[in-house]
């Protein structure tokens, strides 16, 4: 609703829904004009920091927030206009290996089934598969359940497993960021009987994300700082669950 109201002030009626998202005409001169405005003389720096408390002499009228305005030093703008050495730490990101480029559909060579069909059945595990013959999009959904009888052996094992899954999720946050940008999704769940791994997205690069998860699972590691952080978070989570009225009432009834 808010975006729609803003678009109504900026775009013609036919572009209310897509005006700020879809560009139907390629106009290189407009792009060049915008880039030409990015010059040192028009730079505007905004610094947000609690360290400046008491040093701001202005106050905005809506929320009473303190702020100050200063001119950029001439020596800075002169430096920016000169042919100075670039900081090697400032560069474009490397190519995202998780971005799909092959969107072709797999051959429809599997018989249509109402439910997933079991295609692997061994002592180590079972595998079910169902081909998408309805929506016909190049996406896949993978769900693995790694079952272990050790988890339910004791309450301590349940808690340790919970800690393990939370640390694993923490370890994956940074390396899996590019996959998230490429619209690949994953979720790790500490189930009652084992680890549940769910991944979905464009099937071209989905195996890379799954392999990343398996790598961090098999090469699991942690630090004392991370362990302490996760255990403190779990303590708060457990406490909040226990004080919920419905949880307490259920426990009393049992």
Architecture of domain 117-222: 2-Layer Sandwich (3.30)
Average pLDDT value for the chain: 91
- Percent of the chain scored above 90 by pLDDT? 61
Q: What is the pLDDT of residue 99?
A: 96
Task: For 96-149, write each residue's pLDDT tens digit.
Answer: 999 999 999 887 777 788 899 999 999 999 999 998 878 889 999 999 999 999
Count of other CB atoms within 10 angstroms of residue 193? 13
Band (195; pLDDT cuts 50, 70, 90): very high
Q: What is the pLDDT of residue 112?
A: 81
Task: Please classify residue 138 by burial: count the beta carbons closer than 10 Å to its beta carbon, then call 0-12 exposed, 13-18 middle and 19+ buried.
Answer: middle
Band (254; pLDDT cuts 50, 70, 90): low
Which residue did the predictor score with more confidence, 8 or 2? 8
Domain boundaries, the chain: 2-81, 117-222
- For residue 79, pLDDT over 80 is answered with yes
Q: What is the pLDDT of residue 209?
A: 97
Nearest to 178 by CA among 101, 100, 102, 96: 96
């Amino acid at each position: 609703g808010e975006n729609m109201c803003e678009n109504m002030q900026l775009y013609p009626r036919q572009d209310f829904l897509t005006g700020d998202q879809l560009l139907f005409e390629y106009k290189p001169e407009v792009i060049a004009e915008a880039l030409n405005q990015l010059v040192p003389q028009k730079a505007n720096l905004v610094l947000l920091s609690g360290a400046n408390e008491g040093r701001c002499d202005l106050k905005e009228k809506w929320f009473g927030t303190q702020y100050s305005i200063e001119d950029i030093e001439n020596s800075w703008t002169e430096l920016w206009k000169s042919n100075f050495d670039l900081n090697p730490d400032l560069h474009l990101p490397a190519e995202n290996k998780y971005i799909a480029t092959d969107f072709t559909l797999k051959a429809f060579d599997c018989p249509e089934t109402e439910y997933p069909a079991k295609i692997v059945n061994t002592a180590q595990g079972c595998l079910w598969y169902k081909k998408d013959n309805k929506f016909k999009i190049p996406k896949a959904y993978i769900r693995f359940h790694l079952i272990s009888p050790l988890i339910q052996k004791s309450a301590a094992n349940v808690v340790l497993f919970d800690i393990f899954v939370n640390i694993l999720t923490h370890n994956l946050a940074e390396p899996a960021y590019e996959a998230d940008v490429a619209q690949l999704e994953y979720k790790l769940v500490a189930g009652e009987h084992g680890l549940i791994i769910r991944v979905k997205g464009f099937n071209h690069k989905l195996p890379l994300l799954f392999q990343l998860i398996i790598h961090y699972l098999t090469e699991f590691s942690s630090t004392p700082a991370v362990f302490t952080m996760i255990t403190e978070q779990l303590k708060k989570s457990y406490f909040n669950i226990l004080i919920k009225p419905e949880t307490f009432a259920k426990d009393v009834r049992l």
